[in-house]
Structure 1
Amino acid sequence: MLDIKWIRENPEALDEALSRRGAALASAEIVRLDEERRDHLRRLQDLQNRRNEASKEIGKAKASGDAARAEAVIAEVAEIKHAIQDGEETERRIEAAITDVLARIPNTPLDDVPVGADEAANVEIRREGGLPNFAFDPKEHFEIGEALGLMDFEQAGRIAGSRFTVLKGGLARLERALGQFMLDLHTVEHGYEEVVPPLLVRDEAMFGTGQLPKFSEDLFHTTDGRWLVPTAEVPLTNLVRETTLDAARLPLRYTALTPSFRSEAGSAGRDTRGMLRQHQFYKVELVSITAPEASADEHERMTRCAEEVLKRLKLPFRTMVLSTGDMGFGARKTYDLEVWLPGQNAYREISSCSNCGDFQARRMAARYKVAGEKQTRFVHTLNGSGVAIGRCLIAVLENYQNEDGTVTVPEALRPYMGGIEIVGKAA
């Protein structure tokens, strides 16, 4: 959420930023509601001042024996009381309208973010690893998995419907190994603290990270009013909601391996084959909580941590900075890692690392305080995939496939696979 004081003082800057994102302009509505609120508060203050004065007049009238005057002023005070009560209800209505408008405005992009309407304007900033050269036509991951008898979409469909997968045997173990490998890398070498968070969260948590109210159709809602997390970003970032941190504790770095649940609303017909776009998938998430002056460097660091996963697995990838039109709602700058998939002959996104500035912190009331200072400040929050495990499994299958249909296990994963070097057909 953006600072309404900044919007009031810089309406043109807000509209210019929203224009770069291709979003609807919002300054006029915000300024109008803000002026309405401020005018209304002044009227309420005038009523309260008059009530205080009238209360004194009642005492004076009674002391002087002027009963008629006292009764008249008492009647006036009663009317003022009702007017204040009505005014407080109006104030709540205006405040709710302001909050609703602010909650639907996306974050403003940083100046160095490329301007563009969509992914076509994204800019590649580096590339790692040479593309594999096969002596055969490489297959897509679902062809490999189904031929091995270890990936079953029909069984999953009978159990849960479309966009689910059943993994068995060596592929189930390979997916588990990927998660363990990533957690060990991020906790032991990169300094993230492992967390096991709730997978069901309240409205307030979803609002805090920006999924609500704008993106409710992308989420799964439970019958008791909770939400299945679309990413561990939600519970990890909300660990600091409604808190004031000691500046000396920053940065905080959290990681978690959790399932993620997404309705994939609006994606009909996209990536319907295989595991690329699922309702349920595992992901290792990275979240950082920093002071404002440290968030830009932390963004670069987080991205390098995610890149290291792909480097250790020796998977070719490229790093892109997303354009203003392709960034997520809460981000002010985002790097995407795109891994090479030989079966598709294309790079596909496997991680997004975003700097959200104080956008989420304002929604969560997450602050920090420097020793010796009275004033508190909003923290900056960052999140990234470190990385999406399902898509990483896809990349391993396609980049490490063999002509006989087996899959070579990357060296970095062999300790987590009990020394198994080849995943072959189900027995």
Structure 2
Amino acid sequence: MSASVTDFVATEARFGAHNYEPIGVVLSRGEGVWVWDTEDNRYLDCLSAYSAVNQGHCHPKILAAMVEQAHRLTLTSRAFHNDQLAPFYEEIAALTGSHKVLPMNSGAEAVESAIKSVRKWGYEVKGVPDGQAEIIVCANNFHGRTLGIVGFSTDPGTRTHFGPFAPGFRIIPFGDAAALEAAITPNTVAFLVEPIQGEAGVIIPPSGYFTEVRELCTANNVMLVLDEIQTGLGRTGKLLAEQHEGIEADVTLLGKALSGGFYPVSAVLSNNDVLGTLRPGQHGSTFGGNPLACAVARAAMRVLVDEGMIENAARQGARFLDGLRDIRANTIREVRGRGLMLAVELHPEAGRARRYCEALQGKGILAKDTHEHTIRIAPPLVITTDHVDWALERFAAILTQDFS
């Protein structure tokens, strides 16, 4: 007899660290926008593994690239060249307009690599006194879970009892260009920021904010580092979220959808100055830039462009956003979004967003709560008009439901 949902959950609870609180579903397969649980119930995935599955679950062309490469060569370490790394560099640089590429694995590794790189640039190029480099970050940021990163988080849940933390970070409000200007000193080497704060609840800055940010960073010789690990690769209806204001970052961080959900792949993209300071032996990763990762990433980027997923995200995102805003429900405080990065914020008196997500599960939709009262919605970019309309009917039914 196969294991039941209860068995799977109980076994996880017995052996696993309790650092997650998943929705009570045990998934066993996926295809496109759909996932199925162990009892063969079908769900529309409205999380996309936090935007790692932009290309849809188990995309056949990415799968084929992975299988083909896995038969040939998977790992060499960077002690040797491999025949997938150079084409990966060339293709991601052409796609994003970047000059230098540093391949890593997880998004958090990309962030840590960027922090190291901009500090090194600050000391060796900008002339900041050794040990005094400062990086400005935003309140309510989410850049990962490593010790270095949680040290500049403002979320008590990610910080409490994990210290002491490394110095060198200044925290300002998100979306406030005047606060950035006031925080910059001669020792500021970078401003690290998400174009849209995802984990905070899809917080979108005021129009024109990043235009001002770009001007301030340029005027003060500060590297603008955009964490596009969630927002990049089509999620917001543009290849990169920076394109909504027509700016270019000095350093761009990509991950998640860079592999289409098949394998951990991330990258730091920059101009020559920042990554140009790195010398052999000063930074690296055994798995970073491995041939399997590069082959997967090349296919993942290719299908995004060739199959029009970025344009589809813009179209379907607008339809989804309008449909959510048309729902007349006393529970809804605000609906926000750009492309297929959406959120419904509930009034506190409506109760925790988690119970709405659990109710949506019963309607065949998987979404995830964040920050107590917000439902995040981020389906794969292959979603169709029929899928969106089907989902909107179910969101309307749940959001107008009386849970009291």
Q: TM-score range by the shorter chain?
A: under 0.3
TM-score (norm 2): 0.26
Q: Which is greater in Rg? A: 1
Q: Kindly indicate which of the two structures has a greater share of residues assigned to helix.
A: 1
